[in-house]
Structure 1
């Protein structure tokens, strides 16, 4: 086996090997958070009635769309230029804040919406999503520096 043989490369357990970190974080966030929608809805349905259940489900769904949309857009615009990526990330964040402001403004006078249950749904999904996203990013083991040209990991291991 040679160093260039991909089958010879050991894969460490728990390490996601991907060149698309936003896709990995999106998948992890969705996997962890999608169960929170029915859980929050059921809990609020029990303690706040049907209106609370539907409100919590709506809040959880809006949070899922909010976070998924941002990571989907970031995954599409990933490139080599760090400045352009940062500007794009800020533009996406601004669009998300505007979207959330429109939703909150639109729902602020809704008599059918149970505000505390809606907030519980949003907060529950947000906490689970953020925790899953952080864990996924840590497991990606992305380098935080550029490897100097001409050096390789295999040459650094040799005595």
Structure 2
């Protein structure tokens, strides 16, 4: 096993793959549990919550991937926090808009969105940590500086 960081891998692709696959398993489980516990409306609510949450988290990561190389680290962090806050606010607006919908179970919808959000965030962080990205500039060989000055 190597301890060298993976400088050639895109961290956003690693995080997308690392978060998407485990989160994909949440949907069928949530739909089945909702159908068994509360019936068809709950299953519909769970399925809708799963699709909406998965789409927004994946799109948020794709937006961050697009901004990745264009910003300095401080602005990138600010934009990452803005994207995350925008995702949370939009999910809250969707939940509030659907809270009185008679065609779905709001509890199953909300619980599934929460489960997807938690699983996505946990596995996104795990994938990033496992990608072994350098978070500082690699130290330069002192001999390199002398050779370039001449």
What TM-score bracket applies, with the shorter chain setting the length?
0.7 to 0.9
Matched, 1:133 2:135: no
- Say whether residues 1:71 and 2:42 are aligned partners: no
For 2:61 and 2:8, how far apart are their aligned partners in 1? 15
**Pair 1:95 & 2:86 matched:** yes
Distance in 2 separating the partners of 1:41 and 1:52? 8
SS of the residue corresponding to residue 66 of structure 2 reads helix
CA deviation vs aligned residue, 1:79-118 (integer Å, no higher than 9, x gap): 2611221232133224323322331232122122212211
Take 1:122 and 1:17, find their aligned partners in 2: how far apart are those partners? 34
Work out the CA distance in 1 between the residues paired with 2:95 and 2:10. 32
The answer for unaligned runs of 5 or more in structure 1 is 1-10, 152-159
TM-score by length of 2: 0.80
Q: Distance in 1 between matches of 2:42 and 2:86?
A: 28
Any idea what SS the aligned residue of 2:138 has? coil
Q: TM-score, normalised by structure 1?
A: 0.76
CA contact (8 A) 1:45 1:53 kept: yes
Count of aligned pairs between the two proteins: 141
* Correspondence for 1:34: 24
Please say if 1:108 is aligned against 2:94: no
Matched, 1:118 2:105: no
Identify, as 1 or 2, the structure richer in helix. Answer: 2
Name 1:55's counterpart in structure 2: 45
Greater relative contact order, per chain length (Cα 8 Å cut-off, separation 6+): 2
Cα separation, 2, equivalents of 1:47 and 1:137: 35
Paired position in structure 2 for 1:24: 14
8 Å CA contact 1:18, 1:24 repeated in 2: no
Gaps of 5+ in 2: 143-150
